[in-house]
Structure 1
Amino acid sequence: MADAFSSSSETVIQRVVDVTVKTNTPEEKLQELFQINKTCDFIREHQFQKVALQFPDELLVDSVAVSEEIRTNTGAKTFILGDTSYGSCCVDEVAAEHVGADCIVHYGSACLSPSNRLPLMYVFERRPVDVEKCASSFKELYPDTHSHIIILYDVNYVHAIDDLLTLLSPEYPNLVASALVVEGEQCYSHGQIKTQNNESCPSEQDDTRVVCRFGRRFSLKSGSSITDYNMFYVGQEGATLRNFMMTWNRCSFCSFDPATTKGRRESISINRALMKRYYAIERAKDANVVGILVGTLGVADYLTIIQQLKETVRRAGKKSYMFAMGKLNVPKLANFLEIDIFVLIACPENSLLDSSEFYKPVVTPFEMEVACNKKREWSEEYVTDFRHLLPGRQSHVPLADEQEEGDETDVSLITGALRSNNLLTSEPAESPFGTSVVLRNQALTVANTNSAASFLAGRSWQGLEQKLGETPVVKAVKGRRGIAIAYEEEGTSS
């Protein structure tokens, strides 16, 4: 009997892997799927001359056909944005500005995070959904017709929600459907999505009837709270559903997957997921050097939260460095071994990064604030949108005054060692020799700090060096042929 692991290295390298490739959408369906007429009306109405069309990877196969239709019908010059700098759910305003675009048309799934630079239009994918089966699954999951239920959904199924409400509302008087909203006046959507100012959408924190989170808005009955409602989600399992469940972690969730036409009760243990995040917070408390990862250049207020995080980390006696590296992966972050923990600034759907494969944990701005801000306590509230942490927002907690703060210690739940929570009264002095003694508080407590520069100086390998003028110039020679495991001139090993 052949061993499952007995394949030779050559067989593994040359093995063909079947990959499902999306075929081009028929020309007669392009109009409905990509709403070309509405997009052209949007461009002509505002007289845009340069239009950036942002497609996710799975829709790039139709990008040329859509671009050509828009260019022919409007006369505008179109640019296709494919490989986005960060997540495809966010609007890539930086890439659009590189081509001097007057506006952006964003296709496919979207996190609906507000962006302020360029006029924007969302075109959702309009994925098919069997409304009859969805309604049937809903009734099986909620046999009590008097239950208080809120319908949430992936943006690609917004076109079917009205039909679903028509089937369910007569039997479920306490059913509420969320509406899509985007802050600001730069978004145009032709009725599918509404725009509004942040001040016009109060939150559940203000004891009002309207809840506005993650581009969704719904109303609650007077005297009730979000915890009195069950959540029904229409869409596939993924970042959007996970974001909802972490934020409203005290609500019961059910979902309907239009791809499989199956409904189910979400059985993921939210408590277990929250405890996993709390472990990362404890790692953040133990950390001395923090890496701030810029995971978006388009979400509004990202610069403000960077400054707030830098101050929060400094006041906690830690040192911070900022990194802008596009899409994250394990090899990128592994280059910075001096960093004890990373904090990712991104949209809500991309913030909850599973860092189990990374060498160092990656936490959210909220988790870093729990670790560094003594006034913020770990509670049932979990914030994935960093904009809610800013001054004037519902989840903002100001830092303690430095004069009022004393030298306190607690015990690390990971190492069991004592750690100091006192604040730095001065910036640590840089030292090329690796270690410096700095003043931590008025009690003249001293501490050893290692800067990233000194860490780099002590490494055996520091990266590629140009060595201009030191490398002799030689003529090009014929290289090897084949693959690294067996070049042709090496022959075969016995």
Structure 2
Amino acid sequence: MTDAFCSNSEAVLQRSVNVSTIATGSHGGNLVELYQITETCHFVTSNKFKKVALQFPDELLPDAVSVSAEIEKETKAKTFILGDTSYGSCCVDEVAAEHVGADCIVHYGPSCLSPCSRLPLLYVFGKRPIEIQQCATAFKELYPDSQSHVIILYDVTYSHAIGDLRKLLRDIYPNIVVSRLKADGAELVQDSDNLDLQDDRVIIKFGRQFCVNEGQSIDDYSMFYIGKEGLTLTNFMMTWNHCVFSSFNPEMSTGQVESININKALMKRYYAIERAKDAGVVGILVGTLGVANYLTIIEQLKDIIHKAGKKSYMFAMGKINVPKLANFLEIDVYVLVACPENSLLDSSEFYRPVVTPFEMELACNKHREWTGEYVTDFRELLPGGSSHVDIPEPNQSTNEETTDVSLITGALRTSCSTSSSVIKKGTSDSSSLVLRNQTLTVANANTAASFLAGRSWQGLEPKLGQTPIVKAVEGRRGIAIAYEEEGVGNGDSSTIPLYKS
């Protein structure tokens, strides 16, 4: 049996959840200050909300009941605790909030700041501890030149300390740029001082806004990130891959130059793009139900995949893992629609590669060229976005075919740019044969169905009405690896073996 589908039974029974240091146990139990309950209650009462959904990540759930009780006492509103979200905890779970009829959502802890569109929203990041003096000292060691051009980025849970850090550095470093948090359609609880931003030069990306000096671009700056290594830092480094990054880890109180080889990481992503070009069947994974415009990008992906002569299927399965995706061997490549921080999935353990919407567009849209630019926010690919590239409609009067060589298999790939390569309007989607080109070559349109028909095992047969009805009997006891009646370990040779070759 493959390791991806089994685990040690003892380890499963003893599994535990690591609680983050942001919990009140390490802050002297100062619940009101840590979770900024005063500001939260003002948000609820000023808008006259009656039902409030409180979304906590797993590491903050131990404090959820206490926070909920405190808010109910101060506002007289009914609160609902949202935990174990279907997707990444950095995203707002608007679907779960709507299930309880909530009037608004309060999101606690780290966040990707992706825009939402359904319910009023308040972000409470909390106040992770940080030594400002040590952070300033690490910055000075990493940038000894006082004329250095540096943009300061940070994890949202340290936003409360950024104002103090700016005061320590601004007199020494006149060219530093301190970013500020901004979330569309949401309110933020943050203590950083107000920064003067010039509207004509402001840059807004990933919930951060900042200005660069006149006549300069982001590539002229270095990046200083405050926070531990993780998805947020990786997302920044992949997006601004021409900038040199340094970081300060508040938990370790150490600063360092980030040595991640961005070029190597980009080449891994380019390999995934080549796999997407070779793919005939594409699975679209729904990785969010809260980020604005996720349905629009799904429809756009369906369109470009269809025009590229590929078949697509949509999957909504919550948090993805290796066993879930291994159930669909007919899929050649998956494309994940998620927030920017959760899009860069390391699919090395998966049986099929998982790419981002940007990578799928590179594979299917010949008018989009690889320039080294990397886009993790799918909203930028939509019409009106900064990285949108139109897909021309196929020419009805020509039959232009382009060929190239797969860099993985070495085989020739042929793609048609005319409508004769796709199913014509008015024909049934269930048709098994379609005309591919004028040479009367036929191709199977229902690729996944034909793959299933060729499988040696196609699942259990229902046999409706053929199975006799019997009385319910007592089932097995224990865990799947060793049921009690199987007698494993007691010398009973009549037991059924757990695995067969």
Judged with a 3 Å threshold, the aligned counterparts in structure 2 of structure 1 residues 267 and 154 are, in CA distance, closer, same or farther, namely: same
Check whether the contact 2:82–2:96 (CA below 8 A) recurs between aligned residues: yes
- Corresponding position: 1:366 with 2:358: yes
Structure 1 CA distance for aligned equivalents of residues 169 and 287 of structure 2: 40
- Corresponding position: 1:278 with 2:267: no
TM-score of the aligned structures, taking structure 1 as reference length:
0.89
TM-score of the aligned structures, taking structure 2 as reference length:
0.88
Check whether the contact 1:54–1:104 (CA below 8 A) recurs between aligned residues: yes
Structure 1 CA distance for aligned equivalents of residues 445 and 270 of structure 2: 26
Judged with a 3 Å threshold, the aligned counterparts in structure 2 of structure 1 residues 229 and 267 are, in CA distance, closer, same or farther, namely: same
Q: Which residue of the partner structure matches residue 4 of structure 1?
A: none
Q: Which residue of the partner structure matches residue 416 of structure 1?
A: 410
What's the offset of the Cα at 1:25?
Answer: 2.3
Structure 1 CA distance for aligned equivalents of residues 147 and 86 of structure 2: 46
Q: Which residue of the partner structure matches residue 375 of structure 2?
A: 383
Structure 2 CA distance for aligned equivalents of residues 15 and 98 of structure 1: 32
What's the offset of the Cα at 1:20?
Answer: 4.4
**Greater mean alpha carbon deviation, residues 402-411 or residues 240-249:** 402-411
Amino acid at match of 1:115: C
Deviations 1:136-169 (A, max 9, x none): 1111111111010000000000011111111111
Q: Which residue of the partner structure matches residue 495 of structure 2?
A: none
Judged with a 3 Å threshold, the aligned counterparts in structure 2 of structure 1 residues 15 and 312 are, in CA distance, closer, same or farther, namely: closer
Judged with a 3 Å threshold, the aligned counterparts in structure 2 of structure 1 residues 11 and 468 are, in CA distance, closer, same or farther, namely: closer
RMSD: 2.8
What's the offset of the Cα at 1:482?
Answer: 6.9
Aligned-pair identity in percent equals: 63
Structure 2 CA distance for aligned equivalents of residues 232 and 82 of structure 1: 32
Q: Which runs of 5+ in 1 are unaligned?
A: 1-8, 195-199, 203-207
Structure 2 CA distance for aligned equivalents of residues 358 and 78 of structure 1: 39
Judged with a 3 Å threshold, the aligned counterparts in structure 2 of structure 1 residues 182 and 334 are, in CA distance, closer, same or farther, namely: same
What's the offset of the Cα at 1:82?
Answer: 0.2
Alignment of 1:244-323 (within 5 A): 244-323=236-315
Deviations 1:434-482 (A, max 9, x none): x954323456554455522232233343345555552432242364457
Structure 2 CA distance for aligned equivalents of residues 409 and 491 of structure 1: 59
Check whether the contact 1:149–1:231 (CA below 8 A) recurs between aligned residues: yes
Q: Which residue of the partner structure matches residue 3 of structure 1?
A: none
Alignment of 1:130-209 (within 5 A): 130-184=131-185, 187-190=186-189, 209=201
Structure 1 CA distance for aligned equivalents of residues 438 and 15 of structure 2: 64
Amino acid at match of 1:315: K
Structure 1 CA distance for aligned equivalents of residues 11 and 163 of structure 2: 51
- Corresponding position: 1:477 with 2:474: yes
Counterpart pick for 1:327 among 319, 332, 345: 319
Amino acid at match of 1:92: D
Structure 2 CA distance for aligned equivalents of residues 478 and 308 of structure 1: 48
Check whether the contact 2:280–2:311 (CA below 8 A) recurs between aligned residues: yes
Q: Which residue of the partner structure matches residue 37 of structure 2?
A: 36
Structure 2 CA distance for aligned equivalents of residues 42 and 215 of structure 1: 21
Structure 2 CA distance for aligned equivalents of residues 225 and 22 of structure 1: 37
SS at match of 2:110: coil
Judged with a 3 Å threshold, the aligned counterparts in structure 2 of structure 1 residues 482 and 359 are, in CA distance, closer, same or farther, namely: closer
Judged with a 3 Å threshold, the aligned counterparts in structure 2 of structure 1 residues 22 and 366 are, in CA distance, closer, same or farther, namely: closer
Q: Which residue of the partner structure matches residue 492 of structure 1?
A: 489
Structure 1 CA distance for aligned equivalents of residues 291 and 281 of structure 2: 26
What's the offset of the Cα at 1:427?
Answer: 1.6
Counterpart pick for 1:215 among 207, 219, 236: 207
What's the offset of the Cα at 1:304?
Answer: 0.8
SS at match of 2:335: strand
What's the offset of the Cα at 1:182?
Answer: 1.3
Structure 1 CA distance for aligned equivalents of residues 211 and 364 of structure 2: 35
What's the offset of the Cα at 1:183?
Answer: 1.8
Alignment of 1:457-468 (within 5 A): 457-464=453-460, 466-468=462-464
Check whether the contact 2:283–2:312 (CA below 8 A) recurs between aligned residues: yes
Deviations 1:93-121 (A, max 9, x none): 00000000000000000000000100000
Structure 2 CA distance for aligned equivalents of residues 192 and 405 of structure 1: 61
Q: Which runs of 5+ in 2 are unaligned?
A: 1-6, 492-501
What's the offset of the Cα at 1:409?
Answer: 0.4
SS at match of 2:133: helix
Judged with a 3 Å threshold, the aligned counterparts in structure 2 of structure 1 residues 191 and 266 are, in CA distance, closer, same or farther, namely: closer
Check whether the contact 2:284–2:336 (CA below 8 A) recurs between aligned residues: yes
Check whether the contact 2:18–2:59 (CA below 8 A) recurs between aligned residues: no
